């Protein structure tokens, strides 16, 4: 079962996407488009908003571990992991085999 914050995030994400799709359909309705085109535009906008909101919530709630070598861009992002797994990812970020310092 998901934690309360994750469940609230899912509800917010779904509500946000439904609202955006509905507003899009409402605004396009005045142009007398065919129903199939109106529906496809509304669903597309709703899906894009769902993915954008999910991504924003992930970036907000995820933990990020970066390599400590200067110039290396290796990054690990985790979400809802146990303490042991979190420690393992921290160690992986600190000691990974190939540092990308060419940039
Ligand atoms: Zn590195």
Residues, the chain: 103
So what's the pLDDT on residue 5?
80
Cα–ligand 1 centroid distance for 53 (angstroms): 30
Structure confidence by residue, pLDDT tens digits, 14-47: 999 999 999 999 999 999 999 999 999 999 999 9
Tell me the per-residue pLDDT of 52-101, one tens digit each, with 9 for 90 and over: 999 998 888 899 999 988 889 999 999 888 999 999 999 999 888 888 77
Q: What is the Å distance from ligand 1's center to 22 Cα?
A: 45
Domain positions in the chain: 4-61, 63-94
Contact 20, 50 (CB under 8 A): no
Tell how far the Cα of 91 is from the centroid of ligand 1, in angstroms.
11
DSSP secondary structure string for all residues of the chain: ---HHHHHHHHHHHHHHHHHHHHHHHHHHTTT--HHHHHHHHHHHHHHHHHHHHHHHHHHH-EEEE--STT---EEEE-S--HHHHHHHHHHHHS-S------
Confidence of residue 103 (pLDDT cuts 50, 70, 90): low
How far apart are the CA of 70 and the centre of ligand 1, in A? 8
Say how far apart CA 71 and CA 18 lie, in whole Å.
42
């Amino acid at each position: 079962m998901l934690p309360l914050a994750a469940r609230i995030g899912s509800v917010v994400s779904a509500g946000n996407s439904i609202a955006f799709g509905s507003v899009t359909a409402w605004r396009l309705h005045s142009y007398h488009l065919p129903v199939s085109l109106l529906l496809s535009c509304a669903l597309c906008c709703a899906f894009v908003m769902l993915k954008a909101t999910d991504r924003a919530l992930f970036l907000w709630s995820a933990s990020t571990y970066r390599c400590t070598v200067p110039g290396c861009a290796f990054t690990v992002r985790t979400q809802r992991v146990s303490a042991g797994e979190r420690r393992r990812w921290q160690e992986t970020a600190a000691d990974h085999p190939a540092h990308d310092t060419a940039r």
